Amino acid sequence: MVLCVALLAVVLLQPVLSVEGHPSMLAELLVASVPIAGTYAVRGRSWQLRVALLLLAPVVVLWVCTHVGGLPGLRAWELAAALALMSFVSACLLHCLLHASEVTRSVVFGAAGIYLLLGFAWAHAYALAIELREDAFSSPIRDWNELTYYSFSTLTTLGLGDVVPVSPMTRMLTSLEAVTGVLFVGFVVARFAAALSSRNEAR
């Protein structure tokens, strides 16, 4: 649930915290809270928590070096480290969802958390692509508000078309995210239906 709250806060508060299209330090701190919330979400199993903490350490160090120490050259490494952590957390939560015997409140929050985390992880992938090539999109993307907007528009296959990927990397990422969004929703619906069916048969 903490992860869901952190992710929703990023999505909902980014427009408020961005000043003239540029993120404030508070907005950057809000984005930085997501990897920490993701690490907290996998605290149930000790080995998962240890791996998550190992992945979190470079994220925190690189974030401080980039945003506090003023070393922008480490930005790509920071994004890659955060992306690795969020991918691991998503895999752990998906494993729990797959092996859930019944649909409980924590399972529902877990599914919502995975979906939101996927959108945020893809936003990091796009940010990394922009770091590697500035003209990766048809119009410049300046902050996390625009990154999450594009990412969730793609994940939900809404695709408004006001921002268009132009580099081969961002086109590939966009296609993969759209497929991921469709498959995940289908997977969750099928998993919940199977769990409910099993419970009804047990009665």
Q: Which residue segments constitute the domains of the chain, with CATH numbers given?
A: 2-202 (1.10.287.70)
Distance of CA 22 to the CA centre of its chain: 20
Checking if the pLDDT of 55 tops 90, the result is: yes
How many Cβ atoms sit within 10 Å of the Cβ of residue 57? 12
Residue of 71, 66, 84, 74 lying closest to 25 (CA atoms) = 66
Contacts of residue 173, defined as CB under 8 A and 6 or more positions apart, other chains included, come to 122, 125, 126, 129, 165
Distance, in Å, from the CA atom of 161 to the CA atom of 179, rounded to the nearest integer, reads 17
Query: What is the tens place of the pLDDT at every residue in 70-103?
Result: 887 898 999 999 999 999 999 998 888 888 777 7
Residue 152: pLDDT band (50, 70, 90) is very high
Query: Phi first, then psi: what are they for 19, rounded to 5°?
Result: -110, 110
Residue 201: pLDDT band (50, 70, 90) is low
